[in-house]
Chain A
């Protein structure tokens, strides 16, 4: 079943066109990777899907499980099952991690007509999710991302993901700033969530994350559109040859 259908999506920031007709279909159970050089529009695509302000949609549409995603508020997208793991998770002084996570989970549960979890049940749930991520319980009492190391922040994103159990997880450069051990832990966390009824979109500049999160399809984004798609071996090729050769083929593809 089609979970996400992006059709000819165009977006600009201020007067600059960033997305220039993106087409992408993701089915339940699949893992897709979007790769591309800096400034190709990868992060913009991730942000537009999550509903961040500041982008003007100038054309195209996005359907999530058949619903018009672009008309939904960010919180409603999250409640519908979309999760964006931030490249730069935001520090929120004065709000502790447990409070934040619990508020998020309960907002989502409530929207589904499920009962909200009380403090005890929630704590039990979250503790079970901490272990595989090798995160210390003490971080639950810290302010959200405040003073966290780069690795801790990314793990915290994956923890949120594990607690919220989204249908579609979008990872925006989750590998950036991670050493290899942290990368493995984060990848394991993502893989643990893979299921037939869920999908993952990995946005990354480098191939190395894809050694641990094996994609079904790899797409190359350049100048705001997908210029090449292929299997997981495409990522290897990009690693060896860089992005230049694809930028060169771009014009041909436009004509097709």
Chain B
């Protein structure tokens, strides 16, 4: 399929799907979905001529025809699988989605504090007044995959933490893709509203045991009230035949604090976008993560930090490890606008190539239009340090174990600042990746 045929198939599938799948949609949402689809019709799929997609070719994705309805049930023993990954799901609120649909049976939300809403987005849309959030399309939602997501999303997390409330346990949302007998797509939409001085943490965990190719297309929209704190982590463990496109879009107000961590392991093609707008003074964000790719995997990370207001702070560190013929892309953009005096912005991207055939495209960008700022950025790509390897060997440790230890250390630095809930499982995932188990 070429890009035009692919576009048309996504456009023409909508009306039948809408009739069968969206019977509970409020009428105003239907209008927005149609507007989003029309928006997608105008742009179609991006190509490598698009600066946003310069290093990521979508031909592989467009060659597939993904059915819109996957199974809603699974035999996967989610709890024990999570435990085997090293999680202690008792210490989290668990929300499980199967092929894009919320599974009440597999989820367990444990007495959230008064007034905190933590539920399926579709449930909230049917019952609650979310029109303010869904009645219009934001600029970023005009981009092709976000627009497609708007038109086709089936469910996701809705989290609302009211003023001054604190969600003690993290919300662990598992998005499972399972075999439906054919290639399938799911469009997931998460909405997080943090009122002033509230606190919460959330994990988006994408996980596939699907033997067919599939597409996961996610948009997570986050709004942070003044003084609120939101810790977000995304673990991308899609199956190796999967296509994963995900965007986290955050709007930050005064003194709000965001931490966003992205840990990418899976997918034939994985693209993770993180954007935050520091729109009022003294807002802070921390963006961290890694991408570990092998085989013919292509993992793309794109970030945009928009400094719109004075005295905001951003700190960004991403690391990549590429083996075999894998490709890693890091495109990080920091924009410091005229008004954003006293900005403190730091960005770093480091990549480790374990093979000669792997590729890295690193594109750190810093655009500064204010004059009183503290900004730095850097990018480095290299191989394992031979000196260090020899040092290990000279102490009796063989090259394989030395390599494993060095990669663990390199990627592991991104894990150390993550929450207690995440640290042990992430360490194990990195180790498993090194040992070829994932």
A103 at the interface (CB under 8 A from B): yes
Interface locus among A33-41, A84-92, A124-132, A222-230: A84-92
Interchain CB contact under 8 A, B396 and A84: no
Chain B residues whose C-beta falls within 8 Å of the C-beta of A73 in the assembled complex: 393, 398
B387 within 8 A of A: yes
Q: B405 contacts which of A75, A77, A95 (Cβ < 8 Å)?
A: A95
Considering only CB atoms, which chain A residue lies closest to B391 in the complex? Answer: A90
A65 to B395, CA, bound (A): 19
The answer to whether B394 touches A51, judged by C-beta atoms less than 8 angstroms apart, is yes
Number of interface residues of B (CB under 8 A): 22
Question: Could you say which residues of chain A place their CB within 8 Å of the CB of B408?
Answer: 94
Beyond A53-B386, A75-B398, A75-B399, whether A95 also contacts B406 by CB under 8 A is: yes
- What 0/1 readout, one digit per residue, does chain B (403-414) give for beta carbons within 8 Å of chain A? 001101110110
CB-based contact B396/A75 at 8 Å:
yes
Question: Chain A interface secondary structure, helix, strand, loop or mixed?
Answer: helix
Q: Does any Cβ of A come within 8 Å of B48's Cβ?
A: no
Interface of chain B, helix or strand or loop or mixed?
A: helix
Cβ of A74 and Cβ of B390 under 8 Å apart?
yes
Q: Is A78 an interface position by the 8 A CB rule? A: yes
Whether a CB of chain A sits under 8 angstroms from the CB of B388 is yes
Contact of B386 with A164 in the complex, beta carbons under 8 Å: no
**A93 is contacted by which of B390, B396, B401, B409 (Cβ under 8 Å)?**
B409
- Of all chain B residues, which has the CB nearest A96? B409
Q: Provide the residues of chain B in CB contact with A100, threshold 8 Å.
A: 392, 395, 405
Is B82's beta carbon under 8 Å from chain A?
A: no
Q: Which of B385, B394, B408 has the most CB of A within 10 A?
A: B394
B235-288 residues at the A interface, CB under 8 angstroms? none
- Residues in B with CB closer than 8 Å to A67 are none
Interface size for A (C-beta < 8 A) is 29
Say whether A220 faces chain B, with CB atoms less than 8 Å apart: no
Is B4 in contact with chain A by the CB < 8 A criterion?
A: no
What B residues does A104 contact at CB under 8 A?
392, 395-397
Query: Which residue of B393, B401, B412 is within 8 Å of A51 (Cβ)?
Result: B393
Say whether A195 faces chain B, with CB atoms less than 8 Å apart: no
Contact B396 A79 (CB under 8 A): yes
Q: Does A20 contact B (CB under 8 A)?
A: no
Report if A50 contacts B (CB, 8 A): yes
A85 nearest CB neighbor, chain B only? B394
Residue of B nearest to A109 (CB): B396
B residues with a Cβ closer than 8 A to A are: 385-388, 390-399, 401, 405-406, 408-410, 412-413
A–B Cβ pairs within 8 angstroms, 6 of them: A75-B396, A83-B395, A93-B413, A103-B405, A111-B396, A164-B396
Query: Which 5 A/B pairs are nearest by Cβ-Cβ distance?
Result: A94-B409, A74-B393, A104-B395, A78-B396, A90-B391
